[in-house]
Structure 1
Amino acid sequence: MSSNNTIQSSQNKKHNNHLPKINYKEFEKVIKSRRSIRFFTKEVIPKIVIKNSLNNALLAPNSSNLQVWEIYWVKNLNKKKKLIEACLSQPAASTAKELFVFVARPDNWKRNNKLMLDHIKKNNLNSKLFNYYSKITKIVYSQGFFNLFGYIKKILVIIIGLFRVIPREPTSFSDMKIWSQKSIALACQNFMLSMRAYGYDTCPMEGMDSLKVKKILNLPSRAQISMVIGAGRRDKEKGVTGDQIRFDNNLFIKIV
């Protein structure tokens, strides 16, 4: 067995043989008690809770582990005031003790791809992993100048797809935006569930002026605002505005 294979085998054992015991009932409590809170109290969230929840957000699964996301914890009072206005001054923003902006960064994939290659070389990881990040990701995620490479890929995908299974996207920056939004959305959910596990609450907001939010955070045009999340301790009288309405499961869950 090669040294790379030995290292990989050792890593597989390390990650698969030491799973913690999980209390699913406690997890269900977190899931079922998480609500989108419209009004928060003035209680301060401990910094350790915020730090741990942000760290938990970054543990979310993401495509090719390229981590094309950014999270902005808006603490500057002037920026926070402007952000509340950009969120239409809704109570979920104006009463939130803290505000976080979750941003998809499809434009950062090359930087992060290089970081992955550096990590693989530094830690002498599997050569297949090195080949993936040195070849495959560059073909899959590169779109080229004026999207020319993307157009070529699209034509090739259509032709090859006639004969065998092949990933169809991304072949444009529009596809890249969708691709990156999937990853940041998973990070958002991790963050909200983590906050709930610590006894605090959140409200994800899409009702906002995304262009103004970009300007407040000085983001480039290719950055994509996913959502703004308000966080704090729920107001027990008016934090939740009604029952959690869910339609019949059969409308959404399909067994085929």
Structure 2
Amino acid sequence: MNAKAGSLPLPEIDIEEFRKVVRTRRSIRRFTDEPIPEAVLEDCLELATLAPNSSNLQPWEFFVVRTPELKAELAHACLGQNAAKTAAALIVVVARPDSWRAHARQALEDWPEEKLPPIVEKYYRKVAPIHYNQGPLGILGLAKKAAGLAVGITRPVPRGPYSNCEMKIWATKSTALAAQNLMLALRAHGYDSCPMEGFDEHRVKKLINLSGKGLVTMVLAAGRRAENGVYNRQYRFDQRQMVHYL
């Protein structure tokens, strides 16, 4: 019988090592020509998929581009940025607002324990199909929004997603968390990355044969940083401007 996750002893964590990973992660604009070992890349992608995500529906996909010809075309679609042109690998990070139904079924099929809790089965079989389904032309989403406004007068209720547009936001939030895991994992292995939003999404989708309603959240350049890979000193605004204690 599998041990419950909560009963497993937690490993010791070195906060200073984690701090080094976070503080040395930079958006690298130029990389060396050193390739990323297959085992390193696979480990980083696995760590990426351990990111927290909404209802464990894992609404993401990763397209790893390393073949020179396709990488050159993808770099061109990324507006010829130096990070894209010099990267050892380009990873197209895709949010999938359209995968929730199949993943809800898969969540039940892949449940890791011997007994499926009734509350879990109820959620994926009954609650999720109502919560995430927007219906033809978004009609169901509008109905759920009206119901939420009415019920929300007297008690807290989930507010959305109520439209196909909000489903895109829903998927992108979880996918961005996975992308951050991926970038930190690369840094922990001694490699670096640059998340790029400057690209022609239509061309990127065509190059990777992206079907359905997938959204290219970012194209991640990855590799070993070159000596001139960091363009400027890092700085952040005063924390007191951004953090509020209530």
Please point out which of 160, 180, 183 is paired with 1:169: 160
- Superposed displacement of residue 11, structure 1: 4.5
- Rounded Cα–Cα distance in structure 2 between residues aligned with 1:162 and 1:104: 33
Instruction: Give the structure with the higher percent helix.
Output: 1
Q: How many residue pairs end up in the alignment? A: 246
- Superposed displacement of residue 119, structure 1: 2.6
Amino acid at match of 1:89: G
Contact 2:66–2:88 (Cα < 8 Å) also in 1: no
Identity among equivalent positions (%) equals: 44
- Rounded Cα–Cα distance in structure 1 between residues aligned with 2:213 and 2:190: 35
The match for 2:145 is 154
The match for 2:36 is 45
Contact 1:141–1:170 (Cα < 8 Å) also in 2: yes
Amino acid at match of 2:201: S
Q: CA RMSD in A?
A: 1.5
Cα deviations by residue, 1:54-108 (Å, 9 ceiling, x for unpaired): 1110111100000010000012333212110110010010011111000001101
For structure 2, the 5+ residue unaligned runs are none
The match for 2:242 is 252
The match for 2:230 is 240
Contact 1:120–1:130 (Cα < 8 Å) also in 2: no
The match for 2:69 is 78
Q: How does 1:1-256 map to 2 (within 5 A)?
A: 11-12=3-4, 14-120=5-111, 123-220=114-211, 222-236=213-227, 238-256=228-246
Given the superposition, is the C-alpha separation of residues 130 and 43 from structure 1 closer, same or farther in structure 2, using an over 3 Å criterion? same
- TM-score w.r.t. the length of structure 1 is 0.92
- TM-score w.r.t. the length of structure 2 is 0.96
Cα deviations by residue, 1:170-204 (Å, 9 ceiling, x for unpaired): 01110100000011101100000000001111000
- Rounded Cα–Cα distance in structure 1 between residues aligned with 2:195 and 2:124: 33
Contact 1:120–1:129 (Cα < 8 Å) also in 2: no
- Rounded Cα–Cα distance in structure 1 between residues aligned with 2:3 and 2:131: 27
Contact 2:98–2:214 (Cα < 8 Å) also in 1: yes
The match for 1:3 is none
Amino acid at match of 2:24: S
